[in-house]
Amino acid sequence: MEEDKFKYSLEEEIRQAVQKFERMKRNNEKYFFDVVEFESIIDYYIESNNSPKAFEAAALATQQHPNSVSIQVRKARVLIDKGRAVEALRILRNLENLEPGNHEIFIAKGTALGILGDIQGAKKIFDYALTLDSEETGNILFAVVSVLQDLNYYEYLIPYLIRLIGMEPNYKAHLYDLAYAYEKVEKYSESIFYYNKYLEEEPFSDSAWYNLGIIYNKMEEYDKALEAYDFALAINSLNTFAVFNKANILSNLERYTEAIPVYHEYLEHEPDSYEAMTYLAECYEKTDDIELAGKYFHDAIELEPEYSDAWFGLGVIEYNAGNADDSLIYFRKAVRLDDENPEYWYLLGKAHYIKGEVKAALSCFREALKIDAYYDEVWIDLGKIVLREKLISRAIPYLEHAYRVTGDLPGINYLLALFYLYNGDREDSFRHLSLGVGLDTEMFREFKEIFPLKLSTRKINKLLRKNNLI
């Protein structure tokens, strides 16, 4: 009870000090504040993320109390918040000579160094601060942890958090913070371990379950991810991030009929999400509900006319319906909006080829391969077109050049093996086939359809049998 009274009294003193300061500014007057009042005022504005007011208060405090170390430390903290870490360091270096045992000085100094990118220097300073006052070790650790969290230095944060957990084992939030830090440095097993430890204490934390879902998704453990999202949603049905992620997993697993109602649930909460509308449309397209697919692609475009995926989706619908002319319109629009997506170029090329525009098709395929040289489908279709159009003699020099630039691509080697065999150059065919098989055995199974096995040599057949490819 006495503790509550003290807390109330302290809060009231802070409130009065802040009101006095703001009244002074409002009336354009000059009041005197003692050091404790200024400390309260500056701390209040720092914690309220009001840097301008904190700086005003710190500037006046420095004028009225030029020899106060605590005021100077706070001024340095304000300068750090304003992005003026170099100025702050100059102040702090002077202060550490005055009070070498003041850990607040060194925490602020470490923060400034961290902001300036000198994390090793910051760590050295933080470690030194932890040697200064054994009775304040817990508070110093907490301050260091808070700084490193704000600066996103998760790798360096982890040892301090572990130490803090050892000192404050009943403070459950530390477990959550440690799990999150491990997640950020992609140590997923450790992250899962600490999220589970946290959930043993706080089983109804939807954010912890949600984060577990994210990790399991990254680890491609999709059933566990879905289970985690379901727990998150059972606790908090308004966790729209969990709804969205759950829908995306179901869609990626090609469980489109299950994904559809989940996307609808998300759109009930986020009706202006053109991304969700597009993903929903894709699910409808995959389940052959073309009318609804088209509706949601158009709805997405109405909300965001520059969203390339929706234009591409309309192109896919028209392409699959055999409407090459219309698909070209949509694919071109998608490419204009995003010319770094290889799938856009690939389908645009296929649409051109259906129209008999071979040169344009091959040009689009080349653009796709510039972006993603490992795009298997492009290499295979490229081979098919070259064979159909009898362009082998023209294709080989291009592929040889590509091979010299990027010889580690299985697609190039398989196509060269294919074309050389058709041209009667069996040794070069075998050489490139060997290279292709060495790089990606499975990819040959895609090429097998167009590979002229009837022209194969014994060496080629032996190589293919050895790798269980024929």
Which pLDDT tens digit goes with each residue over 47-77? 888 988 998 999 999 999 999 999 999 999 9
393-470 fold:
1.25.40
* pLDDT digit string, tens, across residues 438-464: 999 988 988 888 888 888 899 999 999
Average of per-residue pLDDT across 163-178: 92
The 10s digit of each residue's pLDDT in 375-425 is 888 988 988 899 899 999 888 998 888 888 776 789 889 999 999 999 999
Q: Which of 12-26, 355-369, 378-392 has the highest mean pLDDT?
A: 355-369
Q: What confidence score (pLDDT) does residue 454 get?
A: 87
pLDDT of residue 407: 65
User: Once rounded to an integer, what is the mean pLDDT over residues 19-25?
Assistant: 89
Predicted local distance difference test score (pLDDT) of residue 73: 93
Show me where the domains of the chain are located: 393-470
3-state secondary structure 254-313: CCHHHHHHHHHHHHHHCCCCHHHHHHHHHHHHHCCCHHHHHHHHHHHHHHCCCCHHHHHH
10 Å CB burial of residue 395 (0-12, 13-18, 19+) is buried
For the stretch 226-285, pLDDT in tens is: 999 999 999 999 999 999 999 999 999 999 999 999 999 999 999 999 999 999 999 999
Q: State if pTM tops 0.75.
A: yes
Report the chain's mean pLDDT, rounded to a whole number: 92
Residue 10 pLDDT = 62
